[in-house]
């Protein structure tokens, strides 16, 4: 292409550049004109054969054209970029006023309750101890002075592990008393909370998996039922948020305590809800307790004289009472509405 042709084409090229509708088209035109083998570059090269004066004249002109083309290219490049951003904004629009569908998890009511109970006892100097859910007959029964013929041993209550003699899912957290005493061999104040298992039919008040809390206080000095009662009153007052708790003991039987008792707490019904009250006219059964049987210490390899009291409470039951949950299945059937309600 002659120099004159180049000069005459300037307007045509500018139009071509400024009407490009894609980055691809724009780049192609740029390569054709200003690329290594482009028209303008070749024009510069072909100036070698010209005289000095001609070089001056044409060189200045081509430089001018080159600059005009470059500015047209950057103008169009910017237009295309703006257009791209605008169309992205249009198609990828986010309406921040729409309700969010993010589901942020929360702690289950039982988890919250267990945490609360643990921190209550920790603050009072108790050890919080976890024990295994997969147990042996020794920890779940033998060491707790539960003789072989005791009904609790029969398989209707207990989940035994297939083909593993003496292996079972613990039926009570009392087994953690044994682990603790075996290890400590002396005075202790501990609680343990966790899952327990019994072969029960699932209904409104029974679940084959449930939660228990176990408490154990052991000392070298004599401990009385009065100490036990005081301990229980403190916990119940804390848990149900009441100042004055009225509890009573009823004689009962547990092989690992002697004497054994069950404890109840006075309450009133207010609008159908359970409200603990020291002047309540009804009694709520809360758990079992007693003075540690000497055989338990013996079975843990302790031969010095120790005194202790222990108690056990159904964690699901007291949680249901506190929060007005009438069906234990609500705790375990993972209905999101329930989980959200108690979050």
Q: Report the interface residues with ligand DAH, using CB under 6 A.
A: 172, 174, 214, 254, 257, 288-290, 310-312
Taking the least distance from each CB to ligand DAH, the nearer of 32 and 137 is: 137
Nearest approach in angstroms of CB 104 to ligand DAH is 36
Phi, psi of 263 (to 5 degrees): -120, 140
Looking only at the bridges linking them, the beta strands covering 188-197 and 282-292 are unpaired
CA distance 320 to 277: 17
Q: How far is the CB of 107 from ligand DAH (least distance, A)?
A: 25
Cβ 311 to ligand DAH shortest distance, Å: 5
Residue 312 near residue 214, CB atoms below 8 Å: yes
197 vs 240, beta carbon nearer ligand DAH = 197
Report in angstroms how near the CB of residue 250 gets to ligand DAH at its nearest: 12
Burial class (CB in 10 A: 0-12, 13-18, 19+), 100: exposed
Q: Which is nearer to ligand DAH, 194 or 312 (CB)?
A: 312
Shorter beta-carbon distance to ligand DAH: residue 6 or 217? 217
Closer to ligand DAH by CB, 141 or 311: give it.
Answer: 311
For residue 191, what are the contacts with CB-CB under 8 A and spacing of at least 6?
117, 118, 121, 126, 127, 128, 129, 213, 214, 215, 216
Shortest distance in whole angstroms from residue 272 CB to ligand DAH: 28
Phi, psi torsion values for 342, nearest 5 degrees: -100, 20
Q: Is 131 helix (H, G, I), strand (E, B) or coil?
A: coil
Q: How far is residue 144's CA from residue 253's CA, in Å, rounded to a whole number?
A: 13
DSSP designation for 300? T
Shortest distance, CB of residue 105 to ligand DAH, whole angstroms? Answer: 31
- Kindly report the three-state secondary structure assignment for every residue of 140-197: HCHHHCCCCCCHHHCCCCCCECCCCCCEEECCCCCHHHHHHHHHHCCCEEEEEEEEEE
Residue of closest CB approach to ligand DAH: 312
| Pairwise CA distance, residues 157 & 215, whole Å | 23
Whole-number minimum distance, CB 228 to ligand DAH, in Å? 9
Q: Which two tokens stand for residue 138?
A: 């020794």
SS3 helix, strand, coil % of the chain, rounded to 5? Answer: 45, 20, 35
**Least distance to ligand DAH, CB of residue 327, Å:** 21
Least gap, CB of 115 to ligand DAH (angstroms): 22
> At which residue do the structure tokens 């003789």 appear?
147
CB-nearer residue toward ligand DAH: 131 or 290: 290
For ligand DAH, which is the closer residue by CB, 27 or 252? 252
Q: Please state, in angstroms and rounded to a whole number, the distance separating the CA atoms of residues 283 and 268.
A: 9
The nearer residue to ligand DAH, 68 or 137, going by C-beta atoms, is 137
Q: Based on CB atoms, which residue is closest to ligand DAH, 144 or 331?
A: 144
């Amino acid at each position: 292409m002659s120099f004159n042709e180049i000069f005459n084409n300037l307007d045509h090229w500018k139009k071509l550049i400024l009407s490009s509708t894609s980055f691809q088209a724009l780049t192609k035109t740029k390569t054709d004109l200003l690329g290594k083998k482009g028209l303008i570059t070749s024009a510069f090269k072909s100036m070698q054969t010209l005289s000095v004066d001609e070089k001056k004249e044409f060189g200045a002109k081509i430089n001018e054209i080159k600059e005009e083309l470059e500015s047209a290219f950057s103008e169009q490049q910017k237009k295309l970029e703006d257009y791209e951003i605008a169309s992205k904004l249009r198609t990828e629009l986010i309406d921040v006023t729409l309700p969010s569908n993010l589901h942020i998890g929360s702690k289950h009511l039982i988890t919250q309750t267990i945490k609360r109970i643990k921190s209550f006892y920790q603050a009072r100097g108790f050890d919080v101890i976890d024990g295994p859910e997969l147990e042996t007959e020794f920890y779940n029964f033998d060491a707790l002075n539960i003789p072989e013929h005791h009904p609790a041993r029969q398989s209707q209550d207990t989940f035994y592990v297939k083909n593993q003699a003496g292996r079972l899912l613990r039926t009570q957290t009392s087994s953690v008393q044994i682990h603790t005493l075996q290890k400590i061999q002396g005075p202790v104040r501990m609680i343990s909370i966790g899952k327990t298992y019994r072969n029960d039919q699932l209904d409104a008040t029974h679940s084959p998996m449930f939660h228990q809390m176990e408490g154990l206080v052991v000392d070298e000095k004599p401990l009385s039922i009065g100490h036990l009662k005081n301990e229980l009153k403190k916990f119940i007052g804390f848990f149900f948020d009441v100042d004055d708790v009225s509890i009573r003991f009823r004689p009962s039987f547990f092989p690992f305590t002697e004497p054994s008792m069950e404890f109840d707490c006075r309450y009133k019904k207010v609008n159908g809800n359970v409200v603990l009250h020291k002047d309540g006219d009804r009694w709520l059964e809360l758990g079992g307790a007693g003075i540690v049987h000497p055989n338990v210490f013996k079975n843990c390899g302790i031969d010095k004289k120790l005194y202790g009291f222990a108690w056990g409470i159904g964690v699901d039951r007291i949680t249901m009472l506190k929060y007005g949950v009438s069906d234990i299945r609500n705790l375990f059937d993972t209905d999101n509405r329930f989980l959200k309600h108690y979050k």
